[in-house]
Structure 1
């Protein structure tokens, strides 16, 4: 056998070993998660996530707050014990909920995860409006602000923070009953393990000097339009909870994001479905939503928060985009809550961005009996 033949055979015999080694490298890789990683696969309702940690009993909204606690901590380069302290504080103070409080009536005007009744405390860290309210109720009801507040307090403690256990640090910052936070440390550690590999590069960028944004707002803490009907307000609340979620073409169904996000009609079908208690199942296609039997034609001048607004380009027959009319901002500008396009996230945009396009407004009413439209054509934006 000549040398070239031996080389060929050696290569053939060695190839499986190379492939096996490559396979082991690929399988053994532990890619970081991102803000686009669906929370449902990361521990919701006790499902095992990528870290094999289970967090039974926490809703997706609660997990959003826990993930932001970790994400903002990572963005700010906080040590692990400080992040665990923040999670333990959230768990103890609010069970990872952005709570409004009837004792602070203005807080009820913001999307929230329920009501708390502890003095005049609001938000996930139960900050007292009488002490911390100089920033304004809009800021105080922003869960991202409250998470950053906790880390600000930790930074002010300097080296002393590093000498404390997570429970001691939470106590020093929150000033609650003695040993109030030790009972939540195990949960805090499990949540930290669940989200510890999140990639800061996947998080929304913030301007220098601005608070860290983590994975962005989860809808909780956004202002609620006062003039919305009960149904319209429900449409807005169910869509606003996904603010900051990435746009994904064809993404979204009645269960939430698919493929890591929503497209425009995926977001609206989700919001209307849940606002109607599951009795209106819109197709995943803008023009079909516009023509749906439950859709009432509304003149533009009669638009109200929670109505769907459809946009048709000049010369086109079908609408190409849809969003939810949110109401007006402080400057009187009409706002649209929507999933814009690739590279962006669910957000609020002035309606003037569509000047020159034909606009149709539709209002949906809940049918007396359940008769869902089960046809779900492919996604279109």
Structure 2
């Protein structure tokens, strides 16, 4: 048996590491750490519940994200107003893709920018800021965090400058370009200022802490598609935001004020093929066209057309252009949905339960060879 001294020594030896572990856990719990997996600020999900003349719900969500992320990062009111004014001038509170950056077209967007290689709500130049990867540049939360990062780097000047001056200082645009947006920016701030940022859901990842890698992930983009597939996407994307009109659209673009699903695809295929493939204006006829190659669903690639057939039907009733998966691996579709809506991008999962047939189009000579 051990004597009293030996028992005391053994007990101390056992308790010491346990005590140290408890202390270590207490330190970790008391001091949250920011890691490469922890966003600096994340966007809020769900409808805004607000109405502002001239702004759509999508635009209001971007404005709300500017406020929420700013509050998450404890930015002063004047800095948040500067961010809102910058969004208003640069993109009109829209997450814009750009045909000059073909990869951007595979990500959810609110329309197209044609300003050099600028993308997103803050119109960041892909040639300047693109080292983080296009997935991040097309993430509105990342771009909003980018603005607040620049504000932090400005030090005391961030609070000494007026919101319009700070926006100019960060964006380096034309002098006084932002003054005209300050009144709207203040109104938007007031609309969302009462949101508790601790209760907002994380809809998308924000900027990673400095020192972390780009973390762009594995994203199938048009850069990995054929030249033809990329061109199909580029031509169709120019009509994002165009109203759906049944029977609308031909090789020259919208007719009757808009396009329908097959009107959009026949336009894109016609121009991508240099006018050599002219599809009929009917989904099943496009699916059965001699230029169409049957592609197994597992081998789908950006720029392919996907045709949708309801259970029990023999003819397809809808068609869209496959864009590839987003950052979370969710397949995206570019299409003209239905009356009352506009050409947009959406998740392919929304068509669950339908039969999906993939077609890839090839330019063939008169003998039938491609």
What's the TM-score, normalizing by structure 1? 0.47
**Which of these two proteins has the greater Rg computed from alpha carbons?**
2
What's the TM-score, normalizing by structure 2? 0.48
